[in-house]
């Protein structure tokens, strides 16, 4: 069985890192605009939700910073592989550490999204003056947040194990 040699086009290797970093910069500019609008233009009735949304926006920004700038992957379809073009890869940092940082930021984003949904639910519950289903929903909220936190603890252990070998 003869192996087929496949090479990447030079345009792909030179354009994609610029594209990934450009998208990350544009996302950060939009984040600054969103945070400004949440801080300055939100009416007083929405300030409590705006706090949760700012936490979510900061976690999304952290995720984008790690993934788009520090990691900067170029996915090589159909092969299950990537080329790392970020700043951390240029400094020969282990890909396991970079992947763990990406997973941590995704977990924290999921946790802040969970808090936003929970706050929205509690606000609607308070507006309708219905207190009957809060015990069930609080159990679901506590269980799902514990799953996310346990996932981060597991990743911390994996990171410690892979870093010190």
Tokens of 163: 């870093």
CA angle 137, 42, 53 (to 5 degrees): 40
Task: Report whether 85 contacts 20 (CB < 8 A).
Answer: yes
Does residue 18 register a pLDDT over 70?
A: yes
Average pLDDT rounded to a whole number, residues 131-152 = 67
Does residue 164 register a pLDDT over 50?
A: no
Judging by beta carbons within 10 Å of its beta carbon (0-12, 13-18, 19+), is residue 93 exposed, middle or buried?
A: middle
Does residue 16 register a pLDDT over 80?
A: yes
pTM across the whole model? 0.70
Average pLDDT rounded to a whole number, residues 40-69 = 87
Q: Is 76 left (phi over 0), alpha (psi -120 to 50) or beta?
A: beta
C-alpha count within 13 angstroms, C-beta hemisphere, residue 111: 20
Position 155 scores a pLDDT of 53
Instruction: Pick the closest to residue 37 from 61, 55, 54 (CA basis).
Output: 54
* Share of the chain residues as helix, strand and coil, in percent rounded to the nearest 5: 75, 5, 20
Position 165 scores a pLDDT of 42
For residue 31, what pLDDT band results from cuts at 50, 70 and 90?
very high
């Amino acid at each position: 069985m003869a192996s087929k040699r496949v090479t990447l086009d030079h345009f792909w290797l030179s354009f994609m890192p610029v594209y990934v970093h450009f998208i990350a910069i544009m996302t950060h500019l939009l984040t600054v605009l969103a945070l400004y609008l949440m801080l300055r233009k939100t009416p007083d009735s929405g300030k409590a939700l705006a706090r949760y949304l700012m936490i979510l926006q900061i976690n999304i920004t952290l995720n984008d910073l790690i993934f788009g700038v520090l990691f900067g992957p170029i996915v090589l379809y159909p092969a299950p592989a990537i080329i790392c073009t970020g700043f951390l890869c240029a400094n020969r940092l282990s890909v396991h550490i970079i992947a763990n940082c990406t997973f941590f930021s995704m977990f924290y984003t999921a946790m802040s999204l969970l808090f936003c949904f929970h706050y929205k639910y509690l606000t609607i519950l308070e507006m309708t003056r219905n207190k009957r289903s809060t015990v069930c929903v609080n159990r679901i909220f506590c269980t799902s947040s514990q799953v996310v936190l346990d996932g981060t603890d597991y990743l911390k252990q994996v990171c410690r194990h892979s870093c010190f070998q």
